[in-house]
């Protein structure tokens, strides 16, 4: 169950990687920072303004989506003809920058926004479960469905998919690739923020959680092959479950400390198993 919960968050991050990569061909190394921003900003808003939960969370997601848009407009778009190496370094720079700003203007301590609906465990068929875990899973599933509907039935969603399939052809029928790239960055930021908002009350958050979140979301997207949001979702749940199983096994005195290392080993294995296909894609793209 814990695996599914954390897996949901990885799925949301992986979704962001997939959306941006399929539309623009860019891997956004700052993806994890959106999760961090989601958690931190929701904490700040709830802590200092006294807004009710739902508007505060929506406001958070809107703010982070704007950050995503600004990131694209300021950094990515100005470097349009940049090489892959430059784009990697630019998004790494953005990641470090966002992390630095968060640590500087807010706090470097771990913070915990309040639970959405109390912290009393519910018992379900004899197993106890945190209501927040249900919120996380429910929100992720809902977000998946909304995204799928958006991509399938709206004009904008169809344009995004067209861009992902063939950028040049999409341009020929009047789809502006730069607008689509902007939308994909905002969408990815919004999904990352959503993940951050729902997970922070359960796990606490801090200005430095972005890197690990980004890596695990990347694993999720890589398992899914960067193809569809659904594949990223499956990838996220998979890595979540693998991780929680690995932690459950007794590895001796260091078991929980190696949790992050396990996800990273999975990352390397996935990359190597898929290396042939990924390399071919990179050459074509």
Partner 1 sequence: MLAKVRGRAAYAVIVLLLLLVMLAPFEWFLARYTTLMIFIGLNTMLTVGLCLLMGYTGQVSLGHAAFFGIGAYFSAILSKTYDVNPWLAMGIGAAATGAFAYVISYPIFRLRGNYLAMATLGLGLIIYILFRELGDYTGGPDGMYGIPYLSAGGFVFDTPFKRYFLVWGLCLAMLLISQNIVRSRSGRALRAIHGSEAAAESVGINSAQFKMKIFVLSAVYASLAGSLFVHHLRFVGPQPFGFLASVMVVVMAVVGGLASVWGAIFGAAAIRILSDKVLLEFGELDLIVYGLILMVVMIFLPQGLFVGLKEGYARLRLRYVRREAEP
Residues that bind partner 1 (CB under 8 A): 27, 29, 75, 78-79, 82-86, 88-90, 92-101, 103-104, 108, 211, 215, 218, 222, 254, 257-258, 260-261, 264-265, 267-268, 271-272, 275-276, 278-279, 282
Residue 59 or 96 with smaller CB distance to partner 1:
96
- Residue 55 CB, shortest distance to partner 1, in Å, is 30
Q: Which is nearer to partner 1, 62 or 278 (CB)?
A: 278
Residue 90 C-beta: closest distance to partner 1, Å: 5
Q: Which structure tokens are listed for 285?
A: 């793209």
When the beta carbons of 76 and 136 are compared against partner 1, the nearer one is: 76
> To the nearest whole angstrom, how small is the minimum distance from the Cβ of residue 242 to partner 1?
15
How far is 14 from 207, CA to CA, in rounded Å? 20
CB nearer to partner 1: give 137 or 182.
Answer: 182
Count CB-CB contacts under 10 A for residue 184.
25
Least distance from C-beta 120 to partner 1, angstroms? 35
Residue 98 or residue 237: which is nearer to partner 1 going by CB?
98
Closest to 34 measured CA to CA, from 192, 194, 203, 228? 192
Per-position b or e across 136-174, b if 16+ CB within 10 A of its CB? bbebbeebbeebeeebeeeeebebbbbbbeebeebeeee
Tell me the backbone φ, ψ of residue 232, rounded to 5 degrees: -65, -35
Q: How far is the CB of 5 from partner 1 (least distance, A)?
A: 23
CA–CA separation, 104 and 207 (whole Å) = 9
Residues with Cβ within 8 Å of 198's Cβ and at least 6 positions away in sequence, in order, are 9, 116, 132, 135, 136, 139, 140
Query: With respect to partner 1, which residue has the nearer C-beta, 65 or 98?
Result: 98
Closest CA to 16 of 213, 167, 200: 213
Q: How far is the CB of 277 from partner 1 (least distance, A)?
A: 10
């Amino acid at each position: 169950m814990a695996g599914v919960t954390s897996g949901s968050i990885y799925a949301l991050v992986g979704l962001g990687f997939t959306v941006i990569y399929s539309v623009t061909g860019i891997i956004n190394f700052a993806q994890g920072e959106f999760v961090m921003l989601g958690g931190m900003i929701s904490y700040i808003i709830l802590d200092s303004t006294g807004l009710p939960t739902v508007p505060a969370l929506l406001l958070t997601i809107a703010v982070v989506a704007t950050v995503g848009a600004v990131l694209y407009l300021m950094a990515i778009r100005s470097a349009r003809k940049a090489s892959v190496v430059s784009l990697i370094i630019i998004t790494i720079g953005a990641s470090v920058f966002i992390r630095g700003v968060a640590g500087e203007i807010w706090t470097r301590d771990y913070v915990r926004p309040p639970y959405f609906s109390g912290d009393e465990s519910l018992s379900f068929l004899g197993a106890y479960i945190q209501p927040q875990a249900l919120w996380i899973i429910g929100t992720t599933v809902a977000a998946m469905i909304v995204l799928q509907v958006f991509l399938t039935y709206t004009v904008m969603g169809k344009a995004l998919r067209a861009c992902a399939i063939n950028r040049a052809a999409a341009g020929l029928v009047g789809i502006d690739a730069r607008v689509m790239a902007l939308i994909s960055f905002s969408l990815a930021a919004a999904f990352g923020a959503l993940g951050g908002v729902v997970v922070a009350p359960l796990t606490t958050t801090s200005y430095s959680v972005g890197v690990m979140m980004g890596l695990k979301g990347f694993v999720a997207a890589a398992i899914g092959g960067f193809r569809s949001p659904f594949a990223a979702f499956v990838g996220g749940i998979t890595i979540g479950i693998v991780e929680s199983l690995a932690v459950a096994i007794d590895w001796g005195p260091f078991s929980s400390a190696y949790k992050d290392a396990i996800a990273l080993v999975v990352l390397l294995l996935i990359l190597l198993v898929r290396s042939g296909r990924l390399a071919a894609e990179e050459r074509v793209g």
